[in-house]
């Protein structure tokens, strides 16, 4: 008699996150990026880079690009700090290539970071792409509470809206290879 009750309780426990609508995994390749409200960059350069105007929040669909690369980072993550020069080089490779400039955008989301902390990271590591805070971990929870740095590459256009084509934990030592993979996965020309 006790085994069926224990089994029932185990099944309820395992199904609870799905029943509550919790995202327990990072976005999977082939799936759509979950809809989320992202705080607009505080700096005008970040706003211009993403093709946004006004203040408040935005969604990934509003970024003016064909591909959006989301980097989940934290000011307090030593791997993110170490990877910052590589990401700056990655950004330069995109912006320096007339075939890619404007088609691929990078957005850093500071998991658990306030605007002050995001600004500190941006200034200290001379980050030129847009960084936004996620001080209350709202976005971090939606995307499965990933560790940092975490990268999600999203095709914004095409038949499948916000299609995730790449989802991976870890820094990129070889940014040229990462860019080649992004181009291959997205079919961007």
Residues contacting residue 112 through CB under 8 Å, at least 6 positions apart: 74, 134, 135, 137, 140
Q: pTM, whole model, 2 decimals?
A: 0.86
pLDDT, tens digit (0-9, with 9 covering 90-100), for 10-66: 445 555 445 444 546 899 999 999 999 999 998 899 999 999 998 899 999 999 999
What's the CA gap between 121 and 31, in Å, rounded? 31
The predicted model gives 97-107 an average pLDDT of 97
For residue 52, what are its two tokens? 């946004």
> What domains can you pick out in the chain, each with its CATH number?
25-186 (3.40.30.10)
- Residue 158 pLDDT grade (very low, low, confident, very high; cuts 50, 70, 90): confident
- Contact criterion met (CB below 8 Å) for 110 and 55: no
Q: Which of 173, 157, 130, 155 is nearest to 41 (CA)?
A: 130
SS3 at position 64 = coil
């Amino acid at each position: 008699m006790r085994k069926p009750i224990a089994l029932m309780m185990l099944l309820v426990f395992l199904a609870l996150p799905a029943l509550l609508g919790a995202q327990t995994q990072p976005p999977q390749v082939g799936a759509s990026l979950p809809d989320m409200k992202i705080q607009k960059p505080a700096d005008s350069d970040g706003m211009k880079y993403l093709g946004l105007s006004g203040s408040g929040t935005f969604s990934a669909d509003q970024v003016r690009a064909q591909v959006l690369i989301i980097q989940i980072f934290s000011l307090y993550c030593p791997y993110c700090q170490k990877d910052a020069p590589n990401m700056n080089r990655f950004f330069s490779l995109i912006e320096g290539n007339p075939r890619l400039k404007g088609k691929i955008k990078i957005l850093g989301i500071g998991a658990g970071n306030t605007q002050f902390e995001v600004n500190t990271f941006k200034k200290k590591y001379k980050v030129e792409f847009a960084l936004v805070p996620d001080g209350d971990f709202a976005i971090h929870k939606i995307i499965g509470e990933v560790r940092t740095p975490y990268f999600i590459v999203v095709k914004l256009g095409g038949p499948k809206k916000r299609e995730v084509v790449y989802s991976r934990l870890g820094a990129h030592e070889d940014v040229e290879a990462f860019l080649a993979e992004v181009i291959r996965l997205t079919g961007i020309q």
